Amino acid sequence: MFNESEYEMVWMVYLAAAACGWLVWWKITSFIPWWFIREPLWLMMAVLLFTPVRVAPMEAAQAPATIILLFDAVLGSGDDQVRMLGDISLVMGLVLVAYIVFALLRAAWKHWRPIETKYARGQH
């Protein structure tokens, strides 16, 4: 289908477009005042835009999972829809679990840090 340089060029164009799309999404959702809603939305869009999967199980070529899912849905082939949904769900779950751990660590840091700095300065 593509030679190696064309394949890499298509990926660079896609990644540039996806990065621009993610920045637009980031700007649109930056007006949400609650960080616990805004930041998971950023992560979900990043997973949808930047998750690559193999086009066919035995081929080395990869493509964005969302694009393959949309092509299968629009063109009606439906051969890879379940595999793409599984891959996207797996990555989304892993990212959200990692985010929850990060959010809990950040909340703990915000909770205990002011106490340490307050006592370190000698203010009781």
User: Structural domain boundaries of the chain?
Assistant: 4-120
Mean pLDDT (10-residue bins), the chain, 124 residues: 82 95 95 92 94 85 88 81 89 96 88 63 57
Residue 7 CB neighbours (<10 A): 15
Separation CA 46–CA 26 (nearest Å): 10
What pLDDT, on a 0 to 100 scale, did the predictor assign at position 122?
58
What are 79-96's pLDDT values in tens digits?
778 888 899 999 999 999
Separation CA 28–CA 94 (nearest Å): 25
